[in-house]
Amino acid sequence: MSKPLSDHDRKKQISVKGLAGVENVSDLKKNFNRHLHFTLVKDRNVSTKRDYYFALAHTVRDHLVGRWIRTQQSYYEKDPKRVYYLSLEFYMGRTLQNTMVNLALENACDEATYQLGLDMEELQEMEEDAGLGNGGLGRLAACFLDSMASLGLAAYGYGIRYEFGIFNQKICNGWQIEEADDWLRYGNPWEKARPEYTRPVHFYGRTEHHPDGVKWVDTQVVLALPYDTPVPGYRNNVVNTMRLWSAKAPCDFNLKDFNVGGYIQAVLDRNLAENISRVLYPNDNFFEGKELRLKQEYFVVAATLQDIIRRFKASKFGSRDIVRTDFSTLPDKVAIQLNDTHPALAIPELMRVLVDEEKLTWEKAWDICTRTCAYTNHTVLPEALERWPIDLFQSLLPRHLEIIYEINRRHMERVSSMYPGDTDRMRRMSLIEEGGQKRVNMAHMCIVGSHAVNGVARIHSDILKATIFKDFFEMDPNKFQNKTNGITPRRWLVMCNPGLAEVIAERIGEDFIRDLDQLQKLHDFVNDEAFIRDIAKVKQENKLKFAVHLEEHYKVKINPNSMFDLQVKRIHEYKRQLLNCLHIITFYNRIRKEPNKQWTPRTIMIGGKAAPGYHTAKMIIRLITAIGEVVNNDPVVGDRLKVIFLENYRVTLAEKVIPASDLSEQISTAGTEASGTGNMKFMLNGALTIGTMDGANVEMAEEAGDDNIFIFGMRVDDVEAMDAKGYNASEFYNRIPELKQAMDQIAGGFFSPKQPDLFKDIVNMLMHNDRFKVFADYEDYIKCQDKVSALYKKPKEWTKKVIHNIAASGKFSSDRTISQYAREIWGVEPTLEKLAAPDDLN
């Protein structure tokens, strides 16, 4: 019998990792050593593991540069319509492995580092996550960048280069503690500062109205310094750009109005200006109306629009000569996509530039503005909608407030001409909300100022049209579209789950990586014994690998034959981690009641960050950890149930845990989760889903078939009916003994014996003011979980359903999503053609 292949030798056989040609490997080794000795170490004798990581990163980056220059050059020569994706968040994670995958360098780099006596996986672990996002919205932007490059679109991601990204989460004595994410501490090999494109951004001041137009004067200036990160497409030699702005005080900051002896203080005060790009606001689906946040929103928009207009005016590559002065063609050359309302100020800012600076008439400018901009809505939760106080606007952006008033005046005129005398409709549709303090409703501004408005899953888009944007839909039905979210199969299959990618490629070839619909061919293998075995084997290997990771990092031993049951996402009441907790407690009580029954063993893992100011979310984490302390130390239970809170859930941890999971928990109250994208990642990686009819789960069930997904709970109609009649939690509490028992345990201190009333706030919320109706879905959820457990006992049937899911997941590629945005909103055509490689590369 031949000896089993080492991990390294096995990786060499995985074709999706690219070919490791001899010349290629020896070139990589040469370049690696050159970077190690000349770029990095220089006067040090010893190299650290971090030096080796940086040497590898620079070596791989060298392969991007020629393609990057060539791509940008081709855009200047062909002058295509350009797409600008504006987002306050880009949750990129790590870059090294993704770049190797997209450039087909992974096997060659693995071989080169191996020959140099290094372990590539260890080097990859040295890279910091670029955590410039909170969750779904920021990660979606990152997937979109990958797809736009892979589809050959002339696209740019524009955002903020936060010095501190999403906080690192530590769990101390069961509580979440936040730590600053100093991700740039050792430098970032993937970015290139472009100081030559620095732009001024103005704040405060006042407006002057003259016969020849309006001037915004006496402003404070902050400089926006751009940093460019390459975004490689999948093996097509296209490299697009993500440009992130960093705030810098101008040299004369606070020194022009010099107060004698104030020089030192003036220099110290530069920090105030530079705070704009200091830190990411850590709220997911929650609006916090802080001045610094509004400054961030205007900062990214003002700098980006200057860039867009400079590029529109300039002609050929490398030339800054102004050639275009006619702005009427702007919508033919520029598409601006607003990722939620955070960059909504692009609308009044574009109007300001066109009217005040370029001297266009209002009508002409408005036509250009609406045909250029489009808006994506990401939530219907009222607490998440941006409504900025008017006085904050008046102080920070006085000219923009005037422009918003004028947009609203004309908008109200149109409403009243279409619906004469309907003052209530006018009040509902106004950009300015009266009552208490006046506020600007940013979503309304986005709808009025855009030619397309989209939700992010079919059910979400339907809810927008039927509820929060109903009036706007009635007035402009053609403005509203759906673009169901997707994920990039490069990061979320090929990179994070090479074993599965290889098993698939052996059956249907490698083309599915650029055309994920081809996974449908796997339906032919649902009854193929060898394929069923291979799929199950890959899952088991991934579970063993993750079990080792858990033991190393969390010191917990888990049963790799148990079902890995996962709920990983931001902690929020609407996502109902509490419903999961109630199932855990119920399952625990059942095992204790009948310890000799053949229970299906589970390892239940919950992970995610709570916004630092969100008290309930932090208590939910404390409850999960408390349940774990009791369950994991009960000898009666043994290894049939383990509860683990996954600390510091982030992109890099997702890449490890998703390939190892059996069950994906997507259990938000119907009508609250706009789409979800984690749900798609689990589906693609061979987990089955237990979920409500919410967000993209609806379309997942449609694609995979109702028999291959575990759907439970109220539908949107049921939730609305219950709202109408009134939700009464105690009705369920008194009727369902297992629910009562679980709640009494939480309330009575069973999980917190030293502090019996620790969870009184959670109990009180669930019993008396639970907006998300946890108890209403409890019974059906428990029954559904029983079905899950029963099926898991039949591994072959389970794996067949897994194959059905993988085969049906093609729709959820972000390539499909972006192709639809391109054709139906931006008016550009995606292409799978390869760009010619630069001369010095093959």
569 catalytic per annotation: yes
> CB of 151 within 8 A of CB of 830?
yes
Count CB-CB contacts under 10 A for residue 533.
Answer: 13
Q: Is the pLDDT of residue 562 over 80?
A: yes
Q: Please, which pLDDT band fits residue 324 given cuts at 50, 70 and 90?
A: confident
DSSP secondary structure of 336-400: EEEESSTTTTHHHHHHHIIIIIS---HHHHHHHHHHHEEEE-----GGGS-EEEHHHHHHH-HHH
Mean pLDDT over 23-29 rounds to 89
Mean pLDDT of the chain: 95
Q: 611-615: which pairs have CB atoms within 8 A and are 24 or more residues apart? A: 611/282, 611/283, 611/284, 611/286, 611/570, 612/167, 612/178, 612/282, 613/283, 613/288, 614/283, 614/286, 614/571, 614/572, 615/761
The type of residue at 35 is H
681 catalytic per annotation: yes
- Convert the pLDDT of each residue in 406-435 to its tens digit: 999 999 999 999 999 999 999 999 999 998
Strands (E), 583-687: 602-607, 641-646, 663-666
Query: Cα 292 from chain centroid?
Result: 22
The type of residue at 690 is I
Catalytic residue of the set 161, 342, 569, 583? 569
Q: Please, which pLDDT band fits residue 262 given cuts at 50, 70 and 90?
A: confident
Using CA atoms, how far residue 404 sits from 330, 394, 410, 479, in Å, is: 21, 11, 10, 20
Q: Is the pLDDT of residue 841 over 50?
A: no
Q: Please, which pLDDT band fits residue 13 given cuts at 50, 70 and 90?
A: low
Q: Is the pLDDT of residue 630 over 50?
A: yes
Encoding tokens for residue 268? Answer: 């110290």
Catalytic residue of the set 248, 575, 602, 650? 575
- Convert the pLDDT of each residue in 482-536 to its tens digit: 999 999 999 999 999 999 999 999 999 999 999 999 999 999 999 999 999 999 9
Measured CA to CA, the distance from residue 395 to residue 380 in angstroms comes to 29
- Convert the pLDDT of each residue in 65-104 to its tens digit: 999 999 999 999 899 999 999 999 999 999 999 999 999 9
Encoding tokens for residue 707? Answer: 């028999």
Mean pLDDT over 138-161 rounds to 98
Provide the angle, in degrees to the nearest 10, between the axes of the packed helices 814-821 and 136-150. 80
Catalytic residue of the set 570, 583, 602, 642? 570
Strand pairing of 239-248 and 155-160?
A: parallel
> CB of 605 within 8 A of CB of 656?
no
- Convert the pLDDT of each residue in 168-203 to its tens digit: 999 999 999 999 999 999 999 999 999 999 999 999
Q: Please, which pLDDT band fits residue 258 given cuts at 50, 70 and 90?
A: low
Taking the C-alpha atoms of 703, 707, 709 and 711 in order, what is their torsion angle to the nearest 10 degrees? 110
> CB of 145 within 8 A of CB of 242?
yes
Phi and psi at 484, nearest 5°, equal -60, 130
With 0-12 / 13-18 / 19 or more C-beta atoms within 10 angstroms meaning exposed / middle / buried, residue 260 is: exposed
> CB of 445 within 8 A of CB of 404?
yes
Catalytic residue of the set 95, 341, 677, 692? 677
Measured CA to CA, the distance from residue 145 to residue 488 in angstroms comes to 9
| SS3 track for 202-243 | EECCEEEEECCEEEEECCEEEEEEEEEEEEECCCCCCEEEEE
pLDDT at 321: 60
Q: What b-and-e string marks burial along 460-485, b requiring 16 or more CB atoms within 10 Å of the CB?
A: bbebbbeebbebbbebeeebbbbbbb
- The position carrying tokens 């290894």 is 639
Smallest CA-to-CA distance from 367 within 402, 327, 398 is with: 327
30 catalytic per annotation: no
pLDDT at 432: 98
Measured CA to CA, the distance from residue 6 to residue 449 in angstroms comes to 59
Smallest CA-to-CA distance from 405 within 360, 362, 469 is with: 362
Smallest CA-to-CA distance from 142 within 236, 235, 242 is with: 242
Q: Is the pLDDT of residue 7 over 90?
A: no
With 0-12 / 13-18 / 19 or more C-beta atoms within 10 angstroms meaning exposed / middle / buried, residue 420 is: exposed
242: which residues sit within 8 A by CB, 6+ positions away? 90, 92, 145, 156, 157, 158, 159, 228, 229, 230, 231
Measured CA to CA, the distance from residue 87 to residue 609 in angstroms comes to 21
105: which residues sit within 8 A by CB, 6+ positions away? 18, 24, 28, 60, 63, 99
> CB of 532 within 8 A of CB of 803?
yes
677 catalytic per annotation: yes
Mean pLDDT over 740-765 rounds to 98
Measured CA to CA, the distance from residue 36 to residue 210 in angstroms comes to 61
Phi and psi at 315, nearest 5°, equal -105, -95
Smallest CA-to-CA distance from 620 within 675, 589, 580, 678 is with: 580
Catalytic residue of the set 243, 352, 378, 399? 378
- Convert the pLDDT of each residue in 125-135 to its tens digit: 999 999 999 99
Beta bridge partners, 225, equal 246
pTM: 0.96
Q: Is the pLDDT of residue 32 over 60?
A: yes
Mean pLDDT over 7-18 rounds to 67
pLDDT at 215: 97
DSSP secondary structure of 105-153: -HHHHHHHHHHTT--HHHHHTTSPPEEE--SHHHHHHHHHHHHHHHTT-
575 catalytic per annotation: yes
pLDDT at 19: 72
pLDDT at 837: 84
229 catalytic per annotation: no
pLDDT at 840: 47
> CB of 418 within 8 A of CB of 433?
no
pLDDT at 315: 62
Q: Please, which pLDDT band fits residue 205 given cuts at 50, 70 and 90?
A: very high
pLDDT at 435: 87
Can you list the alpha helix ranges (DSSP code H) found in 671-715? 678-684, 697-704
